[in-house]
Amino acid sequence: MTNFLTADEHHFLTQAERHDTGGYDSWRKAPRNRPFVVDIDARPLAALINAAAVGVRVYEFIAIQRPGDLLHYLWVTIVDLDDEVIQSVKDSVAYRNPYAFDKNAPLSGLSFVEFDQCFIWQGDDTYLEDACWRRHVEQQYWRDKLSDLFSLVLKLQQRLRGMDDFLLQNEIGLIDDKKHRQDFFATVQRKCILDSHNLSINTDSSDFYKVLAAMIAQDDVHSVSCPFGGLTIWRILVTEQIKRAQRLGLPPDEAFTLYGPDTGLNDLPENWGGYVHIPYEGMCDGDIVFLPGWRVFHAEEAGIDGSLAQTMRMQGCRYLFVPKSRALGDLPCATREEIGDWVLYRQKPENQLLKDTTLSDSLQAQIKQASELIASADALLITAGAGMGVDSGLPDFRGNEGFWNAYPALAKTNIKFYDIASPNNFSDDPKLAWGFYGHRLQLYCNTQPHAGFGKLLKLAANKKQGYFVFTSNVDGQFQKAGFDPKRICECHGSIHHLQCINGCLHYIWDAGEFTPEVDEENCQLLNEPPKCSCCGDIARPNILMFNDFKWEDSRYNIQQQALSQWLAQAKNVVIIELGAGKDIPTVRHYGEMLGWPLIRINPRNSDLGSSSGVSLPMGALAALNAIYSALK
Ligand SMILES: [Zn+2]
C-alpha cells in the first residue's frame, strides 16, 4: 500500500539523535568523568502511526493529546555508558517488569519511559549518574523536541481523519462520540514497540478480495466463519457487518454473524465497532466457510447426494474457501473456481446437481434395476430413518459430533443424545428437557419436506394396492408432505403428540396448542411446559426415548394394526428403505424381516445383507430424483 508517512516524516521519526549528556563523576572508579551517551529516536511512534493508518491502534494514536504523551513512543539506545550503570538499569527495569527483557542478554535499547524511570532524583542522596540524566532531560531542548513531534502528530491525525476508508471513519466517529470501547477503559493502553507485526494489509486489486467483498454483500449470505487471521480479510468482513448493522438498525452480530479463529483477533473488530464471535475451541458453521488445515474434510460426502455442509459436518456451509495448497480437486456437489491463493467451491443447486453429475455406470444400472422393481410392484412399503430428513436440512445426530453441532448448548455441558433423550429429564429438569424437545418441535414445524417426498408419494399413489409408511422418524414429515396419516406407522412415536409423564389414562393429545419458546443458546424452555389435564403434572412428547417405560404406545398400536392388515392382503410388494441407520436398526430389521424385495437407499450403509433387491449408496433426495426421472 502507499505509505501513510512521507519519506521526510519517516526519516524525522526514525533517525536517531545522539545525546551526549556531558558525563558524570563516578565515585566508584577513575577517570572521574565517565561517559553517558545515548541515541534517541521515535521509531515506536512511527510504528504506531503506520498501525493506525491500517486500522490498528487508531484509538491509541488519536488519544495523543499532549506533548508528554509522546514520551511513551521514544526509544533509547545506549551508546556509551559504564557497565555498572547499565547493570543498575537492567535491575531496575527487571524489578518493575520481570518479563521486560532477557536479563542475560546485553542491554541495547529500551523505551524512554522505562529508561527514564531508572534515574531518580533523591535530593542530596541522588547518585551522580542519576543527577546527570535528570539534568539532561530538564533542558529546554526536550520541550522543543516534544513540541516539534507533537505538531507533526497533530498534522498526521488530521491526515488520518481525511482518509477514505469506511472502517477507519467509523472508528474515528466512535472516538469523537465518546462511544469507542476503549473510552471505557481506565487508561489509554500505550505500547512502545519498534515495529508492528502482522500489519500487512493487502490493497492490491487481488481478485480474491474483490470476490469476497462481492460474495458477502449477497442477500443469501448471513454468516461467515473464517478461522484465519489476516487484517485485509477481516477489514472486508467487518466493513460489511457494520454497513448491514447501520442499514438494518441491528447490533452488528445480528446483522451479519462473523466467526473468527479460536486464537482470537486481538479485539480488532470490536475496536472498529463490529463484533466477531471467537469460538472456545475449533471453528463454527457459516454460509461462507474458510477451511483451515487442521479441519478434517470428508471428501466422500461431496458426491452427487452430498453437500459442502456434509463434507464439513455442518449444516449451513454453501460456499467453501480452501487454500490452494490443500488440493481437493473437483467436488461433484459444487463448482470450483481458483481465485488467487484460494479455491472457491459453490454448492450446486439441487436440480443442477442432478443434471450436471453423471452417475457412475454401475450406479445407473442399479437405479434402472430399482425403477424396474418399483414399476412391476403392486404395492410399496416405504421404510424410513433419520437419513430421509437430512436433505430437508434436518440434523440426523450422527455421532456425538453431529448431535453437538446441532445442539451446541449441550456440547458445553457434555450432554449426549443418549442423556437428553431420557424420560427422567422431564421430571428432573423439565426446562432443559423441553428446551431440547421444544426446539425440535419448532424445527420440524418450520421444516418443509424436500422434493423427494412429493416424488415418492406420486410413485406410491399410483400403485394398485397403494402404499404404507413405516418410519422411526418422529418429525411428522410424511404427513406434512401429503401422505395419508392412516397409512403411516411411526414406531418411535411423534413429536407432534403429547402424553403425561406418568402415563395418565393412556391419553395422547395433539401438541398443536403448545408453542414452545426456547432459549437456544442455553437449551432452556422459557415459557411454561405443557401440563397433563388429568393429574396436572408435566406433559412430554409421545416419543419413545431411551429406558422409556412410560411411553404411551396406544397410538402406535393402532397404526401397527392398520399396517398389519394392509400387509396381510398386499401382494407383490417392494420395500423402499430410505436413510435407515445401523445404530438403532429397528427400521432396517423390519424391512429385512418381511422378505419382500428391498431397495436400500443409504449413503453410508447400503449393503443388503441377506436380503435380495437393490443397494443404492446415495442420499434419499438424490436417489428419489434419479428413480423418478428413470420412471418417467
Ligand atoms: Zn397425568
pLDDT tens digits for 161-179?
999 999 999 999 999 999 9
Cβ contact 351:359 at 8 Å: no
The tens digit of pLDDT for each residue in 133-154 reads 999 998 898 899 999 999 999 9
Distance of alpha carbon 90 from alpha carbon 103, whole angstroms? 7
Q: What is the pLDDT of residue 590?
A: 93
Residue 359 has pLDDT above 70, yes or no: no
The tens digit of pLDDT for each residue in 401-445 reads 777 777 888 888 888 888 889 999 999 999 999 999 999 999 888
**Nearest in space to 507 (alpha carbons), one of 554, 541, 540:** 554
Q: What is the pLDDT of residue 18?
A: 94
> Cα(359) to centroid of ligand 1, in Å?
54
Cis check for the bond before 31: say yes or no (omega within 30 of 0): yes
Q: What is the pLDDT of residue 350?
A: 63
The whole-number average pLDDT for the span 375-381 is: 95
> Cα(40) to centroid of ligand 1, in Å?
83
What predicted TM-score, i.e. pTM, was given to this entire model? 0.59
Q: What is the pLDDT of residue 618?
A: 87
> Cα(506) to centroid of ligand 1, in Å?
9
**274 versus 95: which is more confidently predicted?**
274
Residue 381 has pLDDT above 90, yes or no: yes
Q: What is the pLDDT of residue 529?
A: 95
Q: What is the pLDDT of residue 109?
A: 87
> Cα(344) to centroid of ligand 1, in Å?
56
The tens digit of pLDDT for each residue in 436-492 reads 999 999 988 888 888 899 999 999 998 999 999 999 999 999 999 999 999 999 999
pLDDT confidence bin for 311, thresholds 50/70/90: confident
The tens digit of pLDDT for each residue in 20-36 reads 988 888 776 667 788 99
Instruction: Name the burial class of residue 187, with classes exposed (0-12), middle (13-18) and buried (19+) by CB atoms within 10 angstroms of its CB.
Output: exposed
Q: What is the pLDDT of residue 398?
A: 65
Residue 596 has pLDDT above 70, yes or no: yes
Going by the DSSP 8-state scheme, the letter that residue 302 receives in this structure is S
Chain position carrying cell 412391476: 376
> Cα(530) to centroid of ligand 1, in Å?
11
Distance of alpha carbon 238 from alpha carbon 583, whole angstroms? 43
Q: What is the pLDDT of residue 419?
A: 86
> Cα(435) to centroid of ligand 1, in Å?
21
> Cα(552) to centroid of ligand 1, in Å?
12
Give the H/E segment covering residue 420: helix 417-420
> Cα(427) to centroid of ligand 1, in Å?
12
Q: What is the pLDDT of residue 30?
A: 67
> Cα(534) to centroid of ligand 1, in Å?
5
The percent helix, strand, coil of the chain (3-state, each to 5) is 45, 15, 40
- The DSSP result for 122-170, as a single string, is -GGG--HHHHHHHHHHTSHHHHHHHHHHHHHHHHHHHHHHT---HHHHH
> Cα(432) to centroid of ligand 1, in Å?
20
- Between CA 264 and CA 295, with CA 271 as vertex, the angle to 5 degrees is 20
Q: What is the pLDDT of residue 15?
A: 94
For the chain, the average pLDDT equals 89
> Cα(426) to centroid of ligand 1, in Å?
13
> Cα(536) to centroid of ligand 1, in Å?
6
> Cα(457) to centroid of ligand 1, in Å?
38
Q: Which residues have C-beta within 8 Å of that of residue 296, sequence separation ≥ 6?
A: 313
Q: What is the pLDDT of residue 1?
A: 47
> Cα(487) to centroid of ligand 1, in Å?
29
> Cα(627) to centroid of ligand 1, in Å?
47
> Cα(484) to centroid of ligand 1, in Å?
30
Q: What is the largest CA-CA distance in the chain?
A: 119
Domains of the chain: 7-184 (no CATH), 205-348 (3.40.50), 361-552+559-631 (3.40.50.1220)
> Cα(46) to centroid of ligand 1, in Å?
75
Q: What is the pLDDT of residue 197?
A: 56
Residue 200 has pLDDT above 60, yes or no: no
Chain position carrying cell 477514505: 164
> Cα(476) to centroid of ligand 1, in Å?
24
The whole-number average pLDDT for the span 303-326 is: 84
Q: Which residues have C-beta within 8 Å of that of residue 209, sequence separation ≥ 6?
A: 202, 232, 233, 236
Of the CA atoms within 13 Å of residue 313, those in its CB half-sphere come to 15
The whole-number average pLDDT for the span 291-299 is: 86
Of the CA atoms within 13 Å of residue 439, those in its CB half-sphere come to 22
> Cα(20) to centroid of ligand 1, in Å?
92
The tens digit of pLDDT for each residue in 330-349 reads 888 888 998 888 899 999 87
- The DSSP result for 396-416, as a single string, is ---HHHHHHHH-HHHHHTT--
> Cα(537) to centroid of ligand 1, in Å?
5
pLDDT confidence bin for 356, thresholds 50/70/90: very low
Q: What is the pLDDT of residue 117?
A: 92
Strands (E), 399-511: 467-471, 488-490, 493-500, 508-510
**363 versus 351: which is more confidently predicted?**
363
> Cα(428) to centroid of ligand 1, in Å?
16
> Cα(505) to centroid of ligand 1, in Å?
8
Q: What is the pLDDT of residue 237?
A: 96
> Cα(436) to centroid of ligand 1, in Å?
21
